[in-house]
Amino acid sequence: MFTALTASITQPASARDFWNGWRESHGLRNPSYTEQIYTSEIIRTRANTWSNLSYILVGLYAIALSRYDRRQPATAASGYLIQTPVMSLTFGVACCILGLGSGLFHASLTRIGQQIDVAAMYMPLLTLCAVNLGRWMPASFNMGQRSFPCWIPLLILVAVCSVLLFVFKWSMSSVVVLSSLIAMVGTSIVADQFRTSRQLNIRWVLVSFALLIAAVACRELDIAGRFSSPQSLLQGHAFWHILTSLSLASIYVYCRSETITSDTFHSD
């Protein structure tokens, strides 16, 4: 049913070869993943494309919570993320961009799609790094006689880093960049355990870590051709998308679980 539905959606584009003229990625002729490639269709890999909806769903969830937080008055015990709805909004938008960017790549298998896909992977992690920085900073800073919220320079930093990582994608290792960003998030989590003025639910970190390990296992089995057949609906890289989206969601929920037990108070 899934295959028939996808074919019916993509069939009108098949006759005119939608991606003709776009520069191919290496993965079109020499695929790293097991899933069958339908070269002449608009969605060239099906499970690996549609599974990116999981990132978009996580993003919409965070956006909905940002709207909820904005409408509800924060209490003195509320954590930084709840007190700063714009951070939830940014995380949600970043996850949606990731879903769209990765979906574009797996649908097109073009070089520009790959560049957008990889650059988009960094954005949710950059936002989580900004959230963790914001939790250690004062709520605002003064410039002359005016006061500005500290989330403004943090989001500018996220935007600048995202653009630079997109522009210089081909001159750096995505594994190194992703590992560095994950390490930064992990370091802040470790630091949280020594901060008595704030409490966070560490169980969500354990859930996130377990999901990430499972995602890596699925991806590596898929690359090795040991997860499923090329025609199967269940593809290892598709599970990578689903499990990593849930891992990101778990870290987001961890940040939302923060409660302040001292007089320290951030406001949006």
pLDDT higher than 50, residue 27: yes
The mean pLDDT value for 79-108 works out to 96
Q: What is the dihedral of CA 55, 162, 175, 121, to 10 degrees?
A: 10
Instruction: Map tokens 């090329």 to a residue.
Output: 230
**CB crowding 13-24: b at 16 or more within 10 Å, else e:** eeeeebbeeeee
134-147: pLDDT as tens digits? 988 877 777 666 77
pLDDT higher than 60, residue 254: yes
156-171: pLDDT as tens digits? 999 999 999 999 999 9
pLDDT higher than 60, residue 7: no
In whole angstroms, give the CA distance from residue 28 to residue 44.
Answer: 9
Half-sphere exposure of 165 (CA within 13 A, CB side): 25
pLDDT score, position 11: 54
Best CATH choice for the domain 23-139+147-260 from the list 2.60.120, 1.20.120, 3.30.300, 1.20.1070 = 1.20.1070
pLDDT score, position 59: 98
184-238: pLDDT as tens digits? 999 999 998 888 888 899 999 999 999 999 999 999 999 999 999 999 999 999 9
pLDDT score, position 135: 86
pLDDT score, position 25: 94
Task: Provide the percentage of residues in the chain whose pLDDT is more than 90.
Answer: 73
Indicate yes or no: pTM above 0.85.
yes
In whole angstroms, give the CA distance from residue 264 to residue 89.
Answer: 23
In whole angstroms, give the CA distance from residue 181 to residue 167.
Answer: 18
Secondary structure (3-state) at 199: strand
pLDDT higher than 70, residue 103: yes
pLDDT score, position 265: 45
- Please provide the average confidence, as pLDDT, over all residues in the chain: 89
pLDDT score, position 1: 45
pLDDT higher than 70, residue 267: no
Which whole-number Å values give the CA distances from 117 to 72, 101, 141, 183, in the listed order? 35, 5, 35, 21
pLDDT score, position 146: 78
**CB crowding 78-109: b at 16 or more within 10 Å, else e:** bbbbbbbbbbbbbbbbbbbbbbbbbbbbbbbb
